[in-house]
Structure 1
């Protein structure tokens, strides 16, 4: 069996690791979207978490070319006609139950498929209807989607339905690059030994996540924390209250993971960007009225050059203006008088031409 890189051996990407742990503690958060460039460890982190939760055999990778029937499953209508029994052919959602559904480049999937994934992830149940027949089954899984913004964006309506989102970047320093490379080469040379060296840390984290899941419902949420969450969402100008609900769930999950019995401002501040970064409305600031005060570039030269008089400044400005020319001004041109203007009479409309001529002639 191929070894999986240990979750606790991942260097850096603290925000990604925290968001993944929150998704494992409360699977009703609505899925995690990881946005970042290629090669920053998105799939490695997701697979490592699935292995940590001992659900690696339920780690399902949804291919880009998957059809709707492949995802949700199908009902064999011919079987009903032949034998009078309903036969359901399970899809990838059935296979991902009690595990993780990983969707690489989710922004390249058809929108209706993304809607199905998000609906099932939020409800925990997959409904299949075909030809007047229906079937349903449990589909409780951690939904993790990744995307590279260089390859296309998701519509705001789809973005809003992802509970959490993390924006990644490359290694922050040369030292971090060296550590990551060293860790990976050590793992590739002897995966069994590398995983054995991290077994204690893996088990400690796994137990901590399990305790957080069991104490999730006992975490208290004060009125002050509720007001704080509502204020953050209001200031971010988010649409609807999905952000409020998700931020509340995420703060409770993080408090439970931290071993606290009540949500505090620290818990909210830690998780707020996961919830608001893809929902925040960026409105342009109102344009300010032009000020009558001179700008630094047009202030009096006497302030910066005390040896030059104001009259010299005006002369210098006039000289500069003459060199650059007067934009928007034209030299005066002579206009012919009405007596000098010759008119042609139209053969088709002589009366109109005559009127124009008469209108240009001076009145006696």
Structure 2
């Protein structure tokens, strides 16, 4: 049994006596290899997927009108892009609204601070303190309040501008009133000084300049300019009148003045009235008597008016006295007009 049955060596020509033992039975299915169903299933699945993908990607190339589908798809894509752009713009706008509102509110707060400072200045300059205090409280309340919407902010800004203008106008008016009051006081002092100088017969050039400075627009003040060097005092005119009377009588009748009665009229003046017995000088003496009576009463205009009836020679004798009296009368009238204009508020 150990010999190789397929070897040619040692062959005999006689029959071989051999004993065979049966081999153990082996299953045919175990000995035969299987066909690989799992691998075949995997390959089929992969092929199906490849085919489906090829069909999906190739559908556009084998369709009846590929250009039309592509244009429609492109149009839909552009529409979608436009919608996305609109959404993006809306988002940007929404994002910018807080920043804009913050900037607007910051500007409003700055304006409120400015108004508060100007109100403090207005209070310091003058005006109605109570009204300005109420306005300041309202501004503080606005600063502490919650932010307002855009229309409310605009309306509030306009109203604040109006209130600010009103406060500034009130302060300016108050300042002008104070200044005007001070000017009127200065004018009154200057006018009083001029009147005092006029009573004494002195000049008042410095006081006149002060009056012009205090009320530069007063036209009546300019009427005082020709008299700044002074006019004759009333007491001086009263003291000089007896000599004027004697000169008038002498000029009216030179023959009588050389007589024995003329020295009495020249010496005593108004104290003694000398009238000729024949009444020749009745018109002149009556005029002189009326002038003397008015002058004693302090009525200088009436005294000058009484001498207006004198004839040429008599009037010439009283010309200098009458001229100086008229200057004083004109100045007193101008001073009265200035006084009335200051009382009425003229500047």
Shorter-chain TM-score range: under 0.3
Larger Rg: 2
Give TM-score, length-normalised by structure 1: 0.17
Which structure has greater strand proportion? 1
In proportion to residue count, which structure has more helix?
Answer: 2
User: What TM-score, normalized to structure 2?
Assistant: 0.18
